[in-house]
Structure 1
Amino acid sequence: MQYATVQDMIDRFGTPELIQLTDPDDQAAVQAARVQLKLDDAQALADGYLGRVFALPLVGCAKPVGVDQVELVPPPQLTRIVCDVARYYLYDDLAPESEVYRRFKNASAELAAIAEGKAVLGCPWGGAPGSPATAGPAAGDTQHAFAPRGIGADVDGGYR
């Protein structure tokens, strides 16, 4: 499942900005391949966090589209996050006080909070966007117990 599309980016940030970022010389059109590459990178980042909580790939949210019909779509929260990250990736140089940078940092923090179990990635129509991961906060596997290795006479060579 793709969390965000090129059209999602256009809807959120506008054609002029995306043309400026993807086709600065000709200013002719949004270069969809460049936007898609950054969306793929942003989705990979999101999956790195979400994989601690959900089995990947996500199934998606069941959005009603008609009588007794549903469409599986990404959670809107995740679409926003991935778009903010992809937008940041499209920029070459940003000051820390810029809106694009702040939105990227907020998106990263939101992903981290979801991965740590401090926030929820929900579906506005009910249900969950995926099944729980087999390890990590969703499975209750947040601590690991390791036994110290014992060193005996056979290992220390008599240096006691």
Structure 2
Amino acid sequence: MTYATLDDLIARAGEAEIKQIADRDRDGEIDAGVIAEALEHADNLVNGYVGTKYSLPFVAVPDLVTTWAIDIARHRLHFQGPPEYVEEDYKRAIASLERVAKGLISLPVAGVETPASSSGTVMFSAPEEVFTAHGLRGWKCS
């Protein structure tokens, strides 16, 4: 399941813009593969941030996540340089995702537990030393 769809992109940017930036073979049609790659990129980026605090996949995708995925995919589609407003939307989406990863923003997700966080303490055990000064007494190094 992707966080955003072609219909979401069209609702946000309009069909004319999406056709202009996603018709790479210039046949007048939106290229499905181009859209799929941009949406997959957005999903992967979102997962990288929210996966630090939430178990994935979501049962129901929060609207905020869909909005961020749209902004990221749209930015990706403008591969020859996005307009300033697209760049600003992308930067806001990334900043929001960073806040989620830091725990400063919580997502309205019911029934999802956050992964256990580390306290910063590392605990380990090891077997007794095999080569000790006492055990090697009498041996010479050459």
Q: CA deviation at 1:134?
A: 2.5
What TM-score comes out, normalization by structure 2 length?
0.78
Q: Residue 20 of structure 1 contacts residue 27 of structure 1 at CA under 8 Å; is this kept in 2?
A: no
Which residue does the alignment assign to 1:78?
A: 65
Look up the equivalent residue of 1:59 and give its one-letter code: V
Which residue does the alignment assign to 2:97?
A: 111
Q: Distance in 2 between matches of 1:51 and 1:20?
A: 33
Unaligned runs of 5+ in 1: 61-73, 123-127, 136-140, 148-153, 156-160
Which residue does the alignment assign to 1:58?
A: 58
Q: State which of 100, 119, 122 in structure 2 corresponds to 1:143.
A: 119
Unaligned runs of 5+ in 2: 124-130, 133-142
Q: State which of 101, 106, 112 in structure 2 corresponds to 1:131.
A: 112
Which residue does the alignment assign to 2:26?
A: 26
Look up the equivalent residue of 1:10 and give its one-letter code: I
Q: Residue 22 of structure 1 contacts residue 31 of structure 1 at CA under 8 Å; is this kept in 2?
A: yes
Aligned pair in 2 of structure 1 residues 25, 55: CA closer, same or farther (>3 Å)?
closer
Which residue does the alignment assign to 1:151?
A: none
Q: Distance in 2 between matches of 1:111 and 1:33?
A: 26
Look up the equivalent residue of 2:78 and give its one-letter code: Y
Q: Residue 19 of structure 1 contacts residue 29 of structure 1 at CA under 8 Å; is this kept in 2?
A: yes
Q: Residue 54 of structure 1 contacts residue 130 of structure 1 at CA under 8 Å; is this kept in 2?
A: no
Q: How many residue pairs get matched?
A: 132
Q: CA deviation at 1:104?
A: 0.7
Q: Residue 121 of structure 1 contacts residue 129 of structure 1 at CA under 8 Å; is this kept in 2?
A: no
Question: CA RMSD of the aligned region, Å?
Answer: 2.8
Which entry has the higher C-alpha Rg, 1 or 2? 2
Q: Residue 68 of structure 2 contacts residue 93 of structure 2 at CA under 8 Å; is this kept in 1?
A: yes
Q: CA deviation at 1:2?
A: 2.2
Aligned structure 1 segments of 4 or more residues deviating by more than 3 angstroms: none
Q: Distance in 1 between matches of 2:38 and 2:104?
A: 27
Q: Distance in 2 between matches of 1:22 and 1:53?
A: 33
Look up the equivalent residue of 1:114 and give its one-letter code: V
Q: Residue 23 of structure 2 contacts residue 31 of structure 2 at CA under 8 Å; is this kept in 1?
A: yes
**1:107-126, Cα deviation, whole Å (9 max, x unpaired):** 0010111111101212xxxx
Look up the equivalent residue of 2:100 and give its one-letter code: I
Q: Residue 42 of structure 1 contacts residue 86 of structure 1 at CA under 8 Å; is this kept in 2?
A: yes
